Each structure stands twice: as structure tokens, then as C-alpha cells.
Amino acid sequence: MLDLKFLRENPDIVKENIKNKFQDKKLPLVDEVIELDVEVRKTQGEVDELRANRNKISKQIGALMAQGKKEEAEKVKEEVTKNAKKLEELEAKQAELNEKIKNIMMVIPNIIDKSVPIGKDDSENVEVQKYGEPFVPDFEIPYHTDIMEKVNGIDLDSARKVAGNGFYYLMGDIARLHSAVIAYARDFMIDRGFTYCIPPFMIRSDVVTGVMSFDEMDAMMYKIEGEDLYLIGTSEHSMIGKFIDTITPESELPKTLTSYSPCFRKEKGAHGIEERGVYRIHQFEKQEMIVVCKPEDSMMWFDKLWQNTVDLFRSLDIPVRTLECCSGDLADLKVKSIDVEAWSPRQQKYFEVGSCSNLSDAQARRLKIRVKGDDGNKYFAHTLNNTVVAPPRMLIAFLENNLCEDGSIKIPESLRPYMGGKEKIEA
């Protein structure tokens, strides 16, 4: 959420940003907020005047009573009662106007970073760099669920009977591989100085609206019927929520956390041949990283976060590339985002396995995450998040890049301690 003062003083910048995000239907909202803000400040002036008058009259009543002028005091009291009613009406009006402003400000997009390429959608995202040499073996690579089935590693039919489409049973060595990747990612991040955390897997609505836009919320979140609770779509939600309504001394920053959680997503509109299997699902597990830092440090941490994901995938011999998200592909709270994509030898193209985002102070402003500087001044922190690894999507890349011609699956040396020393999963 933008600072109202910034919007008031820079309406043209806010409008240009909306245009760069190809959300022209939101342009009238800027003028609407400015009009409401003028009305709020006018109402505030009337409220202040009435309060000052009330204090003045109260002193006057006391003086009249002390002089024994009860009749005059009673007449003045009537004026106080009349003013009190007017004050109550103005305060109610002011609260209503502020709520309208807040609701509009929640849908006006954050100001994107100047380095973000301008583009309408993800088709205009820009490749930044490739890491590792993509290769295609001289034998055919089956679809990922076929690879898993050959080692008795997945049961989709039973999952459909139990929960419907978008769910799975992972079995045997594939289930073990899944857990091994998560454990390896956890230790990888701990070794990089991050504090390990297991957060709540449900969050309240005020946290949900604090960490994401309404559109994202509707497309992703599962609501617990009858309770003010939502299942998390990623542990970033509850991890950032951990700092709601807090004031952290500047000397304690940055807060660098890595978290494990299951994730639950509606995945509205998922379709197409690559949506089969376990690419887009309603339930999966994930290792995440988040940072809460000073504003001047956020871009430095942004680069560190996506590099962590690149380094992890390369440690497992999986070629990856980074992709800069264009303006139209950025969610409203984000100022800059880079996707990490893994190489798929079967499809002979890259596909997304992680996303790194800098949200500047947008989440912090919504959730009141503040920092107290050494000079005593308070300001909003910057928040960032990035995927460390998200099986089973990561498993797809792993299986395709480590499949042998005989159907067995190589285990990279770095992962073997987490697989009981296994060097291969036999077909």
C-alpha cells in the first residue's frame, strides 16, 4: 500500500505507474482518493475546532458556576450538548471517509522499481542470465509422472478417489527424495545464516490482506468455514505476519528467516498439458526465505535471495536461468521480481521453480511493521521473500535432469547423505 502523503504530492507519478502496469481502469482511483483526502482534512479541521470550542466552553461553565450564575451555566451546557452531537457525527463521517480511502489505496499498485522492464504480461519478461549448460540426452525422457510410476513412486488414482484432482500420493524412494530435497534446502539456508522456522499453517484475514492483493487472495486462498482463518498458500504469509504491529530496533535488522510449511492453493484457471501430473496442485510443501530489513538494504538482499536459489539448484547439477518480471507481470505489492526457472530436457525449455520479490514497505505499511532508528524516529521496514525450493515442481526438474537411459535416477553427491547414501533410485 502506498503512502497517502506520497500519492497526494505525486499523483502524476502514481498514474504513470498504473499505466506502466497496464491497469488503466484504476486511474480514476487516484483522483477519487485525493478528493476523499481533501474532505477528510476539511472534516478534521471542523473536529479540531469543535474540540477546542468544547474545552473553552467547559472552562466557561466552571467560571459561571463559581460565580453562582446557574441559569447562564445551564444555557451554555445546552450548547455543549449540541456540539457533542455534531462532533460525534463528524467523527463518524471521518472514520467512514478514512475507511473508503484505505480500501481504495489497497488496490492502487505499488511504485515499481525504475529497473523493471515495461511489458504487458509474462510473455514480455526478460531473460537475465543462464547458469549451467542445458542439455538434451539422446534418449527420450518420459513425462514426470511416468518416471515416478516406473519406480513405484506415485499414486494419482488413489489420490483422486480420496481428494479429487490436484492431489497425489508420493511413495517409496520418490517420497524419500521429496523429503531429502526439503531437508537439504533447509540446511543449505541455515548454512547461509538464516534462522530456521516452522510457522502456523493458518492465518487470520488481517494478515492475508496485509501480505497480498485482493485478486491474489481470491485466486489462491482456502477459507476455513465459520472461522477467521485461511490456509496459507506459502509460508511467506505467516512469516511476514510474524512481525505484525511490531517495532524492531534498527540494530536488530536484518531479520533473515527460512521456513518450512505445507502450502494450499486453489490454482484457479490451471489448464493445459503441462498442468497434468504434479506441476500445478492444490497441496505441496515448500522451503521459503524471507527478509525484513532497512529500506536502503532491500535491493542488496533482493540480489542475495535469488542467488541463493540459483546456487541451490546448481549444487544439484540442474541448469537454471533468471528471468526479470516485466511491469505487467508484477503483483500489485511488488516493486521488483525475478523468477528462477529450471531446465526441462523433456520440453527443451525452462520452467518456473521459484520467484524472488521485493515488496519495499507495502506489506509493512499494511501490517504496521516498523523500525525504530538510533535517533528514535520510526519508519516502515522493507520485506522480501523468495522460494528456496518447492517440491514437487522441483522434483520434475530433478528427475528429468538426473534420469538415466535404463530408467534409474542419479542422486547427486550433495544429496546422498539425505538419501541414506543412495547413489541411484533403481527402475
Range with the lowest mean pLDDT among 32-46, 48-62, 252-266? 48-62
Higher pLDDT, 84 or 274: 84
Range with the lowest mean pLDDT among 80-84, 249-253, 280-284, 379-383? 80-84
All cell numbers assigned to 67:
460565580
Q: Is the pLDDT of residue 74 over 80?
A: no
Structure confidence at residue 274 (pLDDT): 46
Q: How far apart are the first and last CA of the chain?
A: 52
- CA 316 to CA 295: how far, in whole Å? 33
- Cβ atoms of 346 and 400 within 8 Å: the answer is yes
All cell numbers assigned to 12:
502524476
All cell numbers assigned to 281:
496442485
- Cβ atoms of 363 and 352 within 8 Å: the answer is no
Average pLDDT over residues 224-242: 95
- CA 42 to CA 78: how far, in whole Å? 26
Task: Name residue 103's amino acid.
Answer: N
As a whole number, the mean pLDDT across the chain is: 91
pTM: 0.89
- Cβ atoms of 252 and 283 within 8 Å: the answer is no
Q: How far is CA 27 from CA 215, 341, 372, in A?
A: 17, 34, 35
Q: Is the pLDDT of residue 81 over 80?
A: no
Q: Is the pLDDT of residue 51 over 90?
A: no
Q: Which residues are paired to 203 by β-bridges?
A: 230
Torsion region of 98: left, alpha or beta (phi above 0 gives left; psi -120 to 50 gives alpha): alpha
Structure confidence at residue 213 (pLDDT): 79
Length of the chain: 427
Structure confidence at residue 427 (pLDDT): 82
Residue 205 CB partners (closer than 8 Å, separation 6+):
228, 230
Band (pLDDT 50/70/90 cuts) for residue 273 is: very low
Higher pLDDT, 200 or 276: 200
Radius of gyration of the chain (CA): 28
Q: Is the pLDDT of residue 317 over 50?
A: yes
Torsion region of 399: left, alpha or beta (phi above 0 gives left; psi -120 to 50 gives alpha): alpha
Tally DSSP H helices, then E strands, for the chain.
Answer: 13, 18
Domains plus CATH for the chain?
Answer: 4-105 (1.10.287.40), 122-425 (3.30.930.10)
Structure confidence at residue 276 (pLDDT): 63
What's the pLDDT tens digit per position in 183-223? Answer: 999 999 999 999 999 999 999 999 999 998 777 787 889 99
Q: Is the pLDDT of residue 414 over 50?
A: yes
Q: Which residues are paired to 197 by β-bridges?
A: 259
- Mapped onto helix, strand or coil, the DSSP state of residue 359 is coil
Q: Is the pLDDT of residue 133 over 50?
A: yes
Range with the lowest mean pLDDT among 68-72, 202-206, 252-256, 335-339? 68-72
Average pLDDT over residues 41-60: 78
